[in-house]
Structure 1
Amino acid sequence: MAKLAPSTPNQDPEMVYRLPLVGKGGKNRRRGKNENESEKRELVFKEDGQEYAQVIKMLGNGRLEAMCFDGVKRLCHIRGKLRKKVWINTSDIILVGLRDYQDNKADVILKYNADEARSLKAYGELPEHAKINETDTFGPGDDDEIQFDDIGDDDEDIDDI
């Protein structure tokens, strides 16, 4: 054990020892990530006033830009229950609640994981062009068909270099 200098002049320097730390850390120790991914939850379908969407861009401050599958791009607000608990990324499939008074804004109700999104697509709830678990969020035919020209001779020998 490490020896410390005596706290008072009358104590013998050989008798003072550092006590071992007994605590387990502060409040951050209790904030560990609790994984509940393994248990299955019931698949939630959309109701009136709700729409499926795919996240296009994270804007920060609890907001994101999403392309709803009804063809409208909306600014979405992540509600308090999901904030800091459910992490939403670009190209995730979400369920949004539409606003009666603002058509271009919505509120995020639920984030679907990849398995749930595949199930929704299999049930026909999501359109066929919806891409799941991919970073590219464009629809069909949006890709720039890039063609490369073959420049140079493929028959080059390594000894000629």
Structure 2
Amino acid sequence: MVRLMNAIACLLFLSLSCQAHARNSAEVISASNPAGMVITLLNMGFNPELTTDPVGDPLIISRSNGGVFSVFFFGCNETTHDACQSIRLQVGYDRAKPWNPVEAMQLSAEYPFLAVRLDQEGDPFVHWDLYLGEGIPETVFVRNVRAFEKSVTLAAELVYAEEKADAAE
């Protein structure tokens, strides 16, 4: 009878462990599951579209009130383009005239998680890289996306400040 009770206790423990693991797995965001990331972005109010980049890796393009942002995937298997390890959240700004590189670097100083680069036309692109590995909690992913969203909205004010000042004159 004691063995039967121990066996039932073990089965109950395994069942609860499996349920807990299933709940935790559902709440993990990883670069190896772009479709799951799309669902999370949808739940956040974005309008994401899952596609592929020119080399075949996943790419998410999303439109929001702040414009268009992209999610690039890195560390993917070179042949199958899956098992990705990291992502880059990126927004590009289209200025009327090239932006001064010194001012672009001030943006990085003001928003330390944002990296800034200028394209050939002098338009700034800002990005936020996340290494996800085996995955991060969905709540952490959501906080990062919201922080990125806030940062790029505030960054837009700096990017377009000169143009707004010229228009006001």
TM-score (norm 2): 0.24
Larger relative contact order (CA 8 Å, sep ≥ 6):
2
Q: Which has the higher helix share?
A: 2
TM-score (norm 1): 0.25
Say which one has the larger Rg: 1
